[in-house]
Each structure stands twice: as structure tokens, then as C-alpha cells.
Chain A
Amino acid sequence: MSGRVLVGVKRVIDYAVKIRVKPDNSSVVTDGVKHSMNPFCEIAVEEAVKMKEKKLIKEVVAVSCGPQQAQETIRTALAMGADRGIHVEVTGKDYETLGPLQISKIMAALAKKEEAQLIILGKQAIDDDCNQTGQMTAALLDWPQGTFASEVSLEGDKIKVVREVDGGLETIKINVPAVITADLRLNTPRYATLPNIMKAKKKKIANMKPADLGVDITSRLEVLRVDEPPQRQAGVKVETVEDLVSKLKEAGLV
């Protein structure tokens, strides 16, 4: 199978940073906070680049939706081996309400425009934990999906995907074109080293807006409030079983 692979990469707050809720409880503080590429997106990029190195596909296109800074994330993908990038510019209020449904519409539109044969995404983003974009994209395109992939192998015009599911591992065979979402054990992403970052500066990143793709990004969801998780309350130590039972009765639990 030769062809083009689209990889979605999302710029998220770095996993080691302590999150702070804005004083007005509208959202989380992002200004000046350290961001990096979503770890599952790194795995997705690595998988696409590996396929290209094995000459199974021809071109890897990295896609990111967001404000100006999303270009840094695309550059990292380019430094890891993607050939070119597409930056779909979404800013301000639109960016705050951007979610899986809009992204999947954008990815579907791009897949048609770029005549992609494979879309690889991370299984979920570490900021919203939605785990929806891959599945919605496949549905919109009416393509098969191989989600939570821990192993992907191309066999002619079919793809064998080993999926990590609650019961263990499930192996499926799906037709191309398809959507794959990457799980943790799919691969170990390579580093974006400095010589590659320098080379990546010469690779092209195309700019466009969602409207250029005919996509309406109005949100169907309204965030009412964001709160920190409740502080963990101290527990109570009891001496005897009778104490325990009476405490449970007090709390109305028995």
C-alpha cells in the first residue's frame, strides 16, 4: 500500500505541570504554562514515520488545530520525520470550545482533500481524556477503525490491528482506508533532535481556517464551570468493630 498518512497532533499542557483553575472557574490557566505534544500523538507520529521508513507509505502529513503556538507542535512532528504540516488556525473563544466533534469533522475534510489512505491519531488527549476523535472521524468518513492499537501491521490492502481491550488483546483485520488510534505500547517515540529541528524549519506548514474546509466549528457543548478536585479529607481511625459499625450507621451507609 502506498499513499498518504494523516497524523493528528495536539498541543496540551505538559503532564508534569500542576494544573491551576482560573479564579473565575471558567477554565484552566494556560498562559505561559509549559505545553508539549500529547504523549499519545507522539506515539502516533512515530508509528507513521516507522511505516514510511519501511517504505509501506509515501508521505506523512502532520495536522494540528489551534492558535499560532500549534505550529511548534507541528514542527516537533516534522523533526520526528513527518514530511509536511497543516495548521488549521482556530483562536480565541473558538479554540476554547474546540472539541472532538469539530476536530473529527476537520480531519474528515482533510482526509478527503489530501486523499489520505490512513489516519493515525493518539487514543486520547491528556487534557480532556475524551477518547472520541478517532472514533468520530471514522464514522464521518464511513471508514473502519482500529482503536487502542498496540500493534499495527499492513498486509496488502488490509491492516491487522492488535487492540488493548479490558479483556486482554483483540486482533482485528480491517480494510484500507482506515483510522487507527495509538495506545501506549504501540512504540517508543524517537526524540526530536536538534539537527532535525533545524531541518524541520525548511519543511512546509500549510495554513488554513476551518471555513476553508467547509467545516462549521460551533460547539454543541457549553462549559458551565471548572473546579479543582475536592481536597482529600482525612480519614478516621477506629479501635473496634463496634465503633466501625456505629460510624457507618451515623453516615447512613448501613
Chain B
Amino acid sequence: MFPASRYSTKAHKCIRALKTVQTEHAAPQLYTTLHRRKCSSVSTPRITTHYTIHSRDKDSRWEGIEMERFADEADVVIVGGGPAGLSAAIRLKQLANEHEKELRVCLVEKASQIGAHTLSGACVEPTALSELFPDWKERGAPMNTPVTEDVFSILTEKHRIPVPILPGLPMRNHGNYIVRLGNFVRWLGEQAEELGVELYPGYAAAEVLFHEDGSVKGIATNDVGIAKDGSPKDVFERGMELHAKVTLFGEGCHGHLAKQLYKQFNLRENCEPQTYAIGLKEVWVIDEKKWRPGRVEHSVGWPLNRNTYGGSFLYHLNEGEPLVALGFVVGLDYTNPYLSPFREFQRWKHHPSIAPTLEGGSRIAYGARALNEGGIQSIPKLTFPGGLLIGCSPGFMNVPKIKGTHTAMKSGMLAAEAIFPKLTAEGLDSETTGLHVPEYTEALKNSWVWKELHSVRNIRPSFHNYFGLYGGMIYTGVFYWIFRGKEPWTLKHAGLDANQLKPAKECTPIEYPKPDGKISFDLLSSVALSGTNQRGDQPPHLTLKNDSVPVERNLAIYDGPEQRFCPAGVYEYVPLETGDGMRLQINAQNCVHCKTCDIKDPSQNINWVVPEGGGGPAYNGM
């Protein structure tokens, strides 16, 4: 049974347009009356107060407030201090030093310190790092755990079926390193600062700026001092503008500025929509007797059914303490609105082959982040006048390998190499004030990144068949292992993840076991471990295009899936204070910036925008 949801892109656009027309019915007012209800009208209390939804131009509270922004000029501005952004910054400075040119490179990062919003497994291929810093070992890069054992299993409820990882299969990790990516990113940040890159952690890029000719001029950081109701406080101050000849956007998976740029420059007209998964991760200190440093374990199967993509990882680090990094990934194209990725993760830990490793240990960290699964089919147009996209933002993750760090770094480096000659050229003839650098896309297409992504392009979509997981594994075995991905066809994805949910009445609720407090835990104590916080008195950054859609549509049709897919408990449906009915409560302070809600909301009503910089999770070596 081939899934009917595999429409062509054009048909999908029509369906999406129809859905948008339906939901854009009510204009945002203070109280929205639901005329479509047959029974008495229910008023929706105002939830969204952010200025991106309710413009400040027409807001009387903002009359007379000074809105002028301080501006500064740089040669290159980079949004995002992750592997891609930092590699690009480092490469630019390396080239500048080589050619004895002066280059001002500014990097803004919303986390309070570089690495605090980084979360990944992670099993890293050192290829890109060796190109960037051949002497990375001497420089003290925190790549301390070479992989010594590689285990792959299919889990059933009580048993484990080992699967041999033959050489040539994408999930083989010989030569790779288990890394605490947050620490690695922090180290990259130190290297960047040494080279003279201006790093500004704690400042979020909130707005893209444009020249008169439509090219990108730079970015503006977030305003501060806006109260929860959207009014200006005494400490209100405008963000700052950073202008650049070219701006690199490396916001990671599903960046919010990238979302705007896709629309602005129509970057997605010739590619498939991006598909995603959510990854949840914990770090545990375990009993020394159970510790096998360098051991990599992956599993698929239980507790997910064969039609829900996902699996687990468990890596034994070798950094002194007996630490393991473990986690669970669930493809966001799942169809059952009752599925909770967090609770699947918690119950997976009780499997007889996993629980013994954790017994006697203690959990020291928790976090979650969305990741890309679209591969080469979902890569948008990468360049536009004044800017370009790098890293997981456009999405270069090798899905079967579950590795995206090396390709993200390489994309950053290629971007730097493509931009540099244009920045330093004398008498450069540019059509637009912001530089357009299509050479970057050419360089990527000629690099190992493209070759790699091309060879694994059909593995993820091959899961969309009646046999689900098993069909996919057979496909991988035949076409990847034997034919090296050289088959002449390219399979399509199933469309937008947000459109995959079935109505709640067509699905069965899942009975999850209660957390036992020793191996599995409840959501709120997990969120506390992430150290996340957003200052309370600011407009919620989970903005709704229409405040009445959550109850009217998400709750009514899908039983409020956001209560289940958010790994931080941001969304809660609570009873109204007076009368019958429910309302959506947004606990914005809990947000860990994973972006899952923006991706999976079946009404596509949630628009994640960046909160005040310096907030969000406080991951330490995740």
C-alpha cells in the first residue's frame, strides 16, 4: 500500500493553500469569537503578544518610543555559533591571514556562551576537522574517545536481535570519535577568538535587514525590555544592526530567519519540503563496572512500531568519568497524535538490554533538538543576494549515518572559500549591494559532501512502504551496500511532516508506563536538568498566527499533539477559569529551542521566533 500522501509538490501546495485559507479566517483581535460553533460563543483569551504578529506601528503603547537602532559595519556577519558558523569564521580568518588581508568577521549566537545550545549524539567523522585544523590533536580538540565497538540491534519488547554491521554500511563507525559536541563547539569558539573573530554570545539575530535593491544587508539583534503583554518597559532598548557585505545563516535545523528567507527569495521552489526528526538526549554517570569506553550502540524497533521511523543511540565516553550519552530519535512524520517522543525515550530505557547499563547510575543532563532527515532532496537554493545558508539550516545531514557535523563544518568552510575572493577583490562588479556568491553552491556540488549525500539519498524515503522499517532495511542492504547508492532513481519524501498526523479519532491512545524515578523520569524534572530559562517578563516567543486555532483545530481534531511532542512541557491545555472549555497555556520559559513545534504543528499556526538572547538551555558538553 503506497501512501497516498506522496503527492507531487504542486498538489501539496494547493492543499496547503486551502488549509491556510481555512485557518486565516479570524482576524487577530483582543478576543476572538468562534462563530463557527453551534453552541454559545467562546472567547479565546489573548495568547500571542509578540510584535511579529501584532505590529508596534499601530500599537498606542509604542507611541513616542525611540525606535532608532545603533548600526555597525563588518565584512562578514555569521548568524549562529555552531560547527558550521564557527568553521566558516575560522576559515575566513585563516584565508585573511594567509593573504595578509584585514577582515572583520562578527558572529552572533543566541546562547549565553558558545556551546550552550549545542546538542548532538555525537559520533563525529573527523574529516572536515582535519581539513580545517590538520593539527587538531595538538591544539587540544576534545576528540578523546575513538570508537572501539560498534553494535546495532533490532529490539522487540523483551529481546534484542543483533544486526551485523558489515564494512560499507553507512552506520559503521570505524575511525570516528564519540564527542561531547558542546565541548567541541566551545573549543572551536576558542580557536575562532584566537584568530580574531568577534564572537558575541548572548545576542540573538532577530531580524534580517535588506538593502533597497532587495539584497540582504545584515541582521538586527533582538530588542530587550518588552513586557509580557507586548508593551515597552523602562529598560526597553532596541537591538543593534550589524551590516555586512555578505551574511551567513547557520542557525541549525529549522532556523527561524531561514524560514523567512525561504519565503523572501523563494528558495524552496525546486526542492522537496524538509523532513525532520526529534532527538532527545540524556547524559548519565554510570557504575564503573558497566562502563565500556568507546562502545557505540544503536537500535531500531521497540518501542516504535514498524511504520514510525526512529531509533536509539548509547555511546560510552572516555573522558575520565564513566559517562554515557544516550538518546532517542523519532521521525516527525509519525501519524499518531497520541505519540509522545519523550515518553517513548523514557520507556525505551527500561528495555532489558539497556536498563542494566543505567542501573546504579545517575542522570546528569537532559535536552532535545530537532534534526534534518530530508537529505539531498530537501536542500533548498543556498545563495541569494547578500547571503547564503550553511550547516544544518539548509540541511546536510547524512541520515543513515546520523551524522551532520562533518558536512556542516565542510559547508561552512566552502562558504568561506567562495566568499573570500569576492570580499577582497578590487573593483568587484556586483549587481546588488549585498554580494551574491553562487560559487558556494558550485563548490558544494563538487565536494565530498554532495557525493556522500547523493549515495544515501534513497535510504530514508525507502521507509515509506508497507513493511516500514524492514522494507527500508532491505532497501539499504540491496541498494546501498551492494550498489553504493548508484541506482538511477530518486525516491520522494511523503511531504510536510505537519501534514502526516491522522485525526485523533482514527488513532488509539498509547499507554505509557509511569516513570520509576530511577531509570525513567517525568517531564518537568527533565526540563529542570536542561538548565533552560527565558526571562519571564517578555512576550512568549512561541507565537501563534491565530490564537483560536489551537483549541478549535489542534485540540478538536488532533487532541492537542503539541502537549505530547514538545520535549519541554511548553504547551498545556488547561480548563478555562470560567465556564466550560479549554485554553492553550504556553509556558515559554521552559522552551529548549528544539523547534519541533514549528515543524510538527498540524495547523502550522505556531511560529517560533527567537526570544531575548542569553536565555534557552544551559547545556554543558551536550
Contact = CB atoms under 8 A, between A and B. Distances in A.
B237 A191 contact: yes
B239 interface: yes
B2 interface: no
B528 A33 contact: no
B212 interface: no
A201 B239 CA distance: 18
Interface stretch (B76-84, B250-258, B329-337, B529-537): B529-537
A7 to B, nearest CB: 18
Interface residues of A, number: 21
B321 A23 contact: yes
B94 interface: no
A33 B221 contact: no
A197 B200 CA distance: 9
A197 B201 CA distance: 11
Contacts of A31: 620
Contact of A14 (B112, B182, B224): B112
A190 B620 contact: no
A16 interface: yes
A14 B618 contact: yes
B151 interface: no
Contacts of A207: none
Contact of B531 (A14, A23, A188, A194): A14
A194 B234 contact: no
Interface string B334-372: 000000000000000000000000000000100000000
Contacts of B532: 16
B193 to A, nearest CB: 12
B116 interface: yes
A34 B116 contact: yes
A17 interface: yes
Interface in A13-44: 14-18, 20, 23, 31-34, 36
Contact of A34 (B221, B224, B321, B618): B618
B518 to A, nearest CB: 12
Contacts of B186: 32
Contacts of B224: 191, 193
Contact of A195 (B72, B112, B285, B621): B72
B533 A195 contact: no
A227 to B, nearest CB: 14
A198 interface: yes
Chain A interface helix/strand/loop/mixed: loop
B240 A32 contact: no
A36 B528 CA distance: 18
Contacts of A36: 112
A194 B240 contact: yes
Interface in B98-122: 108, 112-113, 115-116
Contacts of B239: 193-194
Interface string A162-198: 0000000000000000000000000011110111011
B112 A190 contact: no
A34 B72 contact: no
A20 B237 CA distance: 36
Interface string B181-224: 01100100000000000001001000000000000000001001
A199 to B, nearest CB: 10
Interface in A64-106: none
Contacts of A194: 108, 200, 203, 221, 239-240
Contacts of A33: 618, 620
B225 interface: yes
B235 A190 contact: yes
B598 to A, nearest CB: 23
A23 B285 contact: yes
B616 to A, nearest CB: 10
A34 B225 contact: no
A188 B528 contact: no
B558 to A, nearest CB: 32
B531 A193 contact: no
B531 A18 contact: yes
B235 A195 contact: no
Nearest to A72: B113
A34 B113 contact: yes
Nearest to A76: B202
Nearest to B322: A23
Contacts of B112: 14, 34, 36
A197 B529 CA distance: 30
A188 B234 contact: yes
B70 interface: yes
Interface in A196-241: 197-198
A49 to B, nearest CB: 12
B528 A18 contact: yes
Nearest to B69: A195
Contacts of B234: 188
Contacts of A20: 364
Q: Quick one: which of B72, B186, B237 has the most chain A CB within 10 A?
A: B237
Interface string B496-538: 0000000000000000000000000000000011011100000
Contacts of B221: 194
Nearest to A22: B321
Contacts of B618: 14, 16-17, 33-34
A197 B234 CA distance: 20
Contacts of A198: 72
Interface string B44-56: 0000000000000
Interface in B266-312: 285
Given A17-B531, A20-B364, A188-B234, A195 B113 contact: no
B240 A188 contact: no
12 contacts: A14-B533, A18-B529, A32-B115, A32-B183, A32-B620, A32-B621, A33-B620, A34-B618, A188-B233, A188-B234, A188-B235, A195-B70
Given A23-B285, A191-B235, A194-B239, 18 more contacts: A14-B533, A14-B618, A18-B528, A20-B364, A23-B321, A34-B116, A34-B531, A36-B112, A188-B234, A189-B235, A190-B225, A193-B239, A193-B240, A194-B108, A194-B240, A195-B72, A195-B240, A198-B72
**Nearest 9 interchain pairs by C-beta:** A16-B533, A34-B618, A17-B531, A191-B224, A195-B70, A194-B240, A32-B620, A190-B235, A194-B203
